[in-house]
Amino acid sequence: MLSGGYKFKQLRHFAASGLVLLGVAGCASLPPVRPAPATLPAQQPLAHLTVATPDDAHNLTEQLLAGEMALARTDLKAAAQAYGKAMLLTSDPSVAEQAAALAVAVHDDAGARRALDRWQALGAKPAPLAQMRAQLALGEGRTAEAQHQLELLTASGDKDAWRDFGRVLLGSRDPAAAGRLLVALATPARLPADPKAWLAMSEMGDQLGRHAYARQIADAAVKRFHTAETYAWAAQLAFKAGDRKQAMTLFGKARAKDPKNIRLRLAYASLLQHNGDAAHAARVLEDGPQDTATYAMRAGLAARAHDSAALARVYDQLSHAPDEQRIHGAYLLGQLAEALGHPDAALKWYDQVADSDPHAFDADLRSAVLLQAQGKSAQAHDRLAQMQVDYLDDPPELRQAYEVDADLYMREQRYTQAIDAFSHALQVVPDDPGLLYGRGLAYAEAGKIDQAVADFRHLLKIKPGDVDASNALGFTLADADRDLPEATRLIEVARAAKPHDPSIADSWGWLQYRLGHLDQAAQVLRGAWQASHNPDIAAHLGEVLWKQGHRQQAHKLFDEAHKLDPHNATLQSALRRLHP
C-alpha cells in the first residue's frame, strides 16, 4: 500500500445560458415578427466550451485504486498493469517503484524495464534501484549484469545492502546462478564488519548447496569475531559435515562465551543427544536459566531415559516457575503430571491451557481420556461433544474428536455409540482407512457381522493387501464360522507380512479351531500366548484346551484372562459357549 493521497484537478462544468430566439408564425392576434437586426449581440464566450474529463486509463486515482484492489485479492498481474499505467500519470517515484516490483514479481520483464527506467528518471535511490535491476537481470539469465548491479548494491553503503543482496539471491529462479554470485561477491574481503552479515551469507551458502563456502565463511567469522553465535554456527556446520569432534569443541567455546544463552544451550543439547550422550545433554539444559523450551526438552530426554526422578525435578521446577512460564507450560505440566501418576493434577493443568495455546485441542483430548479412566465417562463424552461443536469448521480436529469419542466407547464396550461416533467421523473424512477399520471392529464386537465385513472389504478396496485389514476381515469371518476359505487366504496374507505378530497368530490359531484342527490350533495359540499375554488369546487357547479335554489348563487360562480384563468380551463369549 502506498502512503499519501493522489489528486488531480477536476475542471468544473459550466452551464452557459445564451439568447433563445423564438420564431412564431401564423398567429393572427400578434403583430408580425420583425426581421432580426443585421448585427446580433455576441454570445457568452463559455457557451461553446467543451471540458475534457480524463477517462479511467488516464485517471491516476482510478489506476491506484485498481492496483490496490488487485493486491487485496492477490491478483498481482492486474496490480502490475494498473501501477504500470499509474506511474506515467505522476512524478512520485514510489509509484514507479511499486510498478517495477510488481512487474518483476509477475515476470513481466519488458514492463519491469520500463518501470525501472521511469523510477530512475524520477530520482530512485541507487541501492534499491540496483537491487531490483539485479533481480530482473538474474530472472532473465543475464548473470553478468546481475553481478554488476549486486556490486553496486553492496558498495552503496546502504545499511540494508547485504540483507537486500541476500533477498535477491534467495528469490532467484536459478539456485545455481545464485550460488555462483554468492561465492563471487560475498567474500571476506567485501563483507562488512558485522558478524550477523557473515553468518547470514554462510547460512545462505548452506541453503544453496555451497557447503564448502558456508564452512569457509563460518570459520573466517570465528577467527574475526570470536562471538558465541559464530562459534555455534560453525559447530552446526561441522556436525552436518560429519565432524562431530570439531562440532563439540566449537559448541563448548560458544557456551563459554555466553553460558546463559538459552538458544545456544538448546542447540548444544540437541547435538549431544544426536551424538548419543543424552545424560550430558540433560545436564547442559539443567544448568542455567530456563524457559518452556528447555523444560520441554529436559522432559523429553527424561521420558526417553525412563528417569522418573528427572521428570519429577522438571515438574517441580516448572510448577514453581514465574507465572508467565507456568501459563505457557500448562500443557507440559499436565503431561508431566500424567507421567508421574497424578491424574487429578494433570486435569487441573490441562484446564489452565489457554484457548489461544497451540496445545488447547490436545489438552481437551487428554482431559477426556483421563476422565474416562477415572470412571467419569459421562464427563469425558460431554467434553468431547463440546469439542465436536467447537471444532465444527476444522475437519482434522473434528475427525480426531469423534475418533477419540469412539475409542472411549469401545473401551466401555458401548459398541452402538462407538459405531455412531465412527460414522460421524466418516462423514467428515469419507473413506478414511483408520476410521473404517475402527468402525469395522465396533460392528464385529456388536455382532453386526455383515456390516463389519462390508467395512473391512471396503477398506481392502482402498488399500489392497493391507495387513491389518486382511487380518481383521479374516478373523471376523473365522469367528463367525463363515467363508472359511476366504478367511484362510486373508490370514495367510497377513502371516506372510508379519510372521511374528501375536495378534495374527491368534487369528490363525482361531481359524484352525474353526476348521477342526484342534492340535494345530493349540500349538499356534500357545506360541501367541507366550509372545503376548493378551486376554483374547488366553480365552481362545482356553476354549481349545477345553475342547481337547484339558479342563484344568483351560480354567487356569480363563482365570488369567479374567485377571487381565474382568469384562473381556472374548472371555465372556467363550464361557457362554462352554457353559450355556
> Distance between CA atoms of 516 and 519, rounded to whole angstroms?
9
* Residue 127 φ/ψ, nearest 5 degrees: -65, -55
Q: Full-prediction pTM beyond 0.75?
A: no
For position 250, what pLDDT does the model report?
93
Nearest to 490 by CA among 502, 506, 507, 503: 507
Alpha helices in 18-108 (DSSP H): 60-72, 76-86, 93-105
Judge contact between 207 and 170, C-beta under 8 A.
Answer: yes
The pLDDT of residue 57: 58
**E strands along 322-430, which residues?**
none
- Residue type present at position 258: D
Whether 446 contacts 419, CB under 8 Å: yes
List the Cα angle 209/232/213 in 5-degree steps: 25
Which of the residues in the chain have pLDDT under 70?
Answer: 1-58
Torsion of CA 473, 479, 481, 486, to 10 degrees: 20
Please report how many Cα atoms fall inside a 13 Å half-sphere around the Cα of residue 209, on the Cβ side: 7
Long-range CB pairs of 211-214, under 8 A, 24+ apart, other chains included: 211/237, 211/240, 211/241, 213/179, 213/182, 213/183
Please state, in angstroms and rounded to a whole number, the distance separating the CA atoms of residues 408 and 373. Answer: 9
Q: What per-residue confidence (pLDDT) applies to 42?
A: 46
Return the C-alpha torsion angle 204, 208, 209, 211, nearest 10.
-20
Q: Are 234 and 249 in contact (CB under 8 A)?
A: no
